[in-house]
Amino acid sequence: MNHKPTVSLVISVWNRKDDLRDNLKAIGAQTVQPDEVIVVDNCSRDGTPEMVRAEFPLVKLICMPHSAYGACETFNVGFASAGGDFVGILDDDVVLGPRFVEDMLAKFATEPETTAILSPKVIEPEMPDWYRNAPLVNAERYLATFRGCGSMARHAAIRKAGYYDIRFFIFGNERDLTTRLLNLGYRVKAVPSIEVFHKAPFGMRHGKRSLYFHVRNFWLYAFKYAPWSMVLGFPIAFLHKRLGGKRKGAGGEVADAVGTIGLFENIRAVKWGFWICVKASIAALWHLPYCIRHRHVCKHEDFELPLR
């Protein structure tokens, strides 16, 4: 008798009661119900845990003792608590289509065991048509990262890879995990036929915090996995390609590093944006010994720095 795959959906939340309610309602409307839903609450003060207990009593709620944990750590708590063969990785402000679980399981059934994560097409406010309709965005392909707001993973694969690196705290952690999976012989695949809606605006989130962690975490990632020649040459290549613009790229290129689209605009818009980048880069050097201890240059064909 074939084993029926089990599914755990893991959501990390902090002070987003109404968004989480929409998320959980969409999960309740799935054509194939998950075996468990785990919500890890980062000590919200807006009534989020009370709402979950009152309105969604079947949800497994884990409450962190304080709110200083990063998203990487709260997700890891949820992953470690999950019992499913497959784990859905969901932001609190995502809304799944009704066939998300069913379609993800059907697609995994056609994939080799080396496909560790399936990443859907994510629809977001302010997403330009040239990006949404780009042929590459709408083609199945292997990736160097995945959309952490609404993907599904083989639990055994991400457990073997060690889940998220909690030093990343927030932002860029998906690319780091993907690279560890590549080094273990796994792959990550985009499946644009499966769509989810993410309430966050398209591109990089604005603000000092986002800018700081995007820059710092890029260097942590590069120190861990990129050849030193690529690390040293990245600033020049980055400026040459002008990654970060929300305009259509030359040659119709699109970025899989969606979280960094709008970086240059963010640097200009945030007060002292350039110096925040400098501060973040110096902070990354503080973590250099850790990165070197965990350094494993990735030679997989899917590996690439976020230059597209």
Residue spans of beta strands (DSSP E) within 27-85: 36-41, 60-63
pLDDT band at 1 (very low <50, low <70, confident <90, very high): very low
Residue 239's pLDDT band (cuts 50, 70, 90): low
Q: Which amino acid is at 282?
A: I
pLDDT band of residue 260 (cuts 50, 70, 90) is: low
- 135, burial (CB in 10 Å: exposed 0-12, middle 13-18, buried 19+): exposed
Q: Which pLDDT value is given to residue 166? A: 97
Instruction: Tell me whether residue 112 is exposed, middle or buried, using C-beta atoms within 10 angstroms of its C-beta: 0 to 12, 13 to 18, 19 or more.
Output: exposed
Exposure string (b/e) for 77-105, b if CB count within 10 Å is 16 or more?
Answer: bbbeebebbbbbbbbbbbbbbeebbbbbb
Residue 84 has which token pair? 């499913």
Length of the chain: 308
Percent of the chain with pLDDT over 70: 90
- 86-91 and 7-13 strand pairing: parallel
**What structural domains does the chain harbor?**
7-198 (3.90.550.10), 208-293 (no CATH)
Q: What is the CA radius of gyration of the chain?
A: 19
Q: Per-residue pLDDT for 258 more than 80?
A: no
Q: Which pLDDT band, with edges at 50, 70 and 90, does 234 fall under?
A: confident
Structure tokens at 120: 């859907």
Do residues 119 and 108 touch, judged by C-beta distance below 8 A? no
**pLDDT tier at 169, thresholds 50, 70, 90:** very high
| pLDDT at residue 158 tops 90 | yes
Give the integer Cα–Cα distance in Å for 298 and 200: 31
